[in-house]
Amino acid sequence: MADRYAVDSGYTVDAYFRLVHDGVLREDDRVELLDGVIVAEPPMDPPHASGIAMVGDALRQAIGARAAVRIQSPFIAGTHSVPEPDVALVAGQSADYADHHPDSAFLVAEVSASSLPQDRLSKSRIYAGADIPEYWIINLRDDRLEVFRAPDPVRRAYGERQIAQRGERMSLVVFPGVSVAVDELLPPRIAPSLIG
C-alpha cells in the first residue's frame, strides 16, 4: 500500500477510507482498521455465522424499533479504528446511516472462537476507548457470554466483567427492563473440532 495513506501513528480513519475510495482496498475485502493497523478478518465458519444471526435476531426481538441492529458494518471508534463488530446496537434506524457510519453505540458484540484473544484485548480497548457502555463476547469456545461494562475511555478499559451461562438472562444496561436469554445468543453446542 502506498505510503501516502499512512501516518506515523498508523492509518487514520480518513486514510483508511481513501484506500477504499482509491481502489487499494475493495469494499468486500474482509479487513478492519484497529488502532491504526489494517487487520484481516478470518474466514467465517458455520458456528460463527449462526452466532451472528442469532445475536442480531435476539437483539431485534428485545429492542424492537428503539434502536438499529447493524451486522458486520463499519463503526467509527476514534481517529485510528474502524472495527466491523459482528453486531452493533446503535441509535435511530438503519436508514439514518445511509450517508455515514455510526460513531457511537449502545452495545457491540463479537462472536468469537479463533479471534478470542483479539476480541478480549484489542477490541475491548477500542470499544472502551469509544465509550461504548456494553461489550459482549459470545464465546463459542467456552459456550458462554462475556459481558464488559463501565467503560473508562481514558484508560481504554472496562471496569466490570461478567460471565453469563446458558439458562441465564442478560439485561441491557442502556435499556432498563430489557433482557436477552443467553441461550438465544449461543448456537447449539457442536463438536470442538468444528469451531475455528
CATH classification of the domain holding 86: 3.90.1570.10
In eight-state DSSP terms, residue 94 is G
Domain for residue 18, yes or no?
Answer: no
Domain for residue 117, yes or no?
Answer: yes
Domain for residue 104, yes or no?
Answer: yes
Domain for residue 36, yes or no?
Answer: no
Domain for residue 152, yes or no?
Answer: yes
Kindly report the average pLDDT of the chain as a whole number.
91
pLDDT tens for the 196 residues of the chain, in order: 444 444 456 899 999 999 988 888 887 888 999 999 999 988 888 999 999 999 999 999 999 999 999 999 999 999 999 999 999 999 999 999 999 999 999 999 999 988 899 999 999 999 999 999 999 999 999 999 999 999 999 999 999 999 999 999 999 999 999 999 999 999 987 655 555 5
Structure pTM? 0.90
pLDDT in tens, 143-196: 999 999 999 999 999 999 999 999 999 999 999 999 999 999 999 876 555 555
State residue 101's pLDDT score. 95
Q: Taking the CB of residue 182, how many other CB atoms lie within 10 A of it?
A: 21
Domain for residue 97, yes or no?
Answer: yes
State residue 190's pLDDT score. 64
Q: How many domains does the chain have?
A: 1
Domain around 153: 43-187
Domain for residue 138, yes or no?
Answer: yes
Domain for residue 4, yes or no?
Answer: no
State residue 2's pLDDT score. 43
State residue 11's pLDDT score. 92
State residue 5's pLDDT score. 47
